[in-house]
Structure 1
């Protein structure tokens, strides 16, 4: 059995420039509950997994990773699957009222999903999506759907 079939993703970690500014964004605008806070690091409880923030300077200093800035830098997209397309429109209104700036209004995309996109404070991309009638396209494993 492959690694990805044995182990669920438990955390998504955003490498950030300013942990305090990122904490404010995720706590105050998106409503995540701060769970742990340490030097250069914070994590939040949320539905389904842990969202963590790690300051670039801190991770570089402690791990020796030096490819976290500029071209080829580590990037992340955080996707949230909502239960119905109407939820996309509701989130667009709710988060827009909190100051989230979207790349555009809710739209239906060729992969059969209604989506909205926005960026967090460290240019991490967020995608909120809901499958349209017929569900996802391109399933490789028919048993998995």
Structure 2
């Protein structure tokens, strides 16, 4: 009553070219849309209680407001796709490149004990592909348990 539950329901990305983004995620990465309006939005089930929405930038701005166009750099956020095995990081990065992703970094062993690499989708949104052997990394894998 009167409080916000600790969870995220949608992650929405404002995209320049919805058709190109759809091709990347559907044809390139093999994702299946759960809902789509070809002129406005494509939505993917990304977890039991999570949807990734690709929203045409003009429609996004009409509802949310102008997006920042401050020059070079990346949007100050990443999306992460965690995997159960270290070798899977390289396989997913390779599949993303084959789908047309821009390589940001190859898989790299991290100080904290994991292994991660990055790619960028057609709009430059950074995706981290991560093997995180720690408890929180394992908790976000299918069957890993959801504390919320």
Report the TM range for the smaller structure's normalisation: 0.7 to 0.9
Report the counterpart of residue 59 of structure 1 in structure 2: 60
Structure 1 portions without partners, runs of 5+: 138-143
What are the residue-to-residue correspondences of 1:80-91 with 2, within 5 Å? 80-91=81-92
1:39-96 Cα offsets, whole Å, 9 max, x none, are 3211123444311011121122234x12x13029965421111112121122233333
Q: Superposition RMSD on alpha carbons, in Å?
A: 2.6
2:22 maps to 1:28:
no
Query: TM-score when scaled to structure 2?
Result: 0.74
Alpha carbons 1:102, 1:118 under 8 Å: kept: yes
Q: Quote the Cα distance in structure 1 between the aligned partners of 2:27 and 2:17.
A: 15
Change (3 A) 1:94 1:41: closer
How many matched pairs?
A: 131
Structure 2 portions without partners, runs of 5+: 137-146
Q: Comparing 114-123 with 42-51, which one deviates more in the overlay? A: 42-51
What are the residue-to-residue correspondences of 1:77-116 with 2, within 5 Å? 77-116=78-117
Q: Quote the Cα distance in structure 1 between the aligned partners of 2:108 and 2:135.
A: 16
Q: Quote the Cα distance in structure 1 between the aligned partners of 2:89 and 2:24.
A: 20
Report the counterpart of residue 45 of structure 2 in structure 1: 45
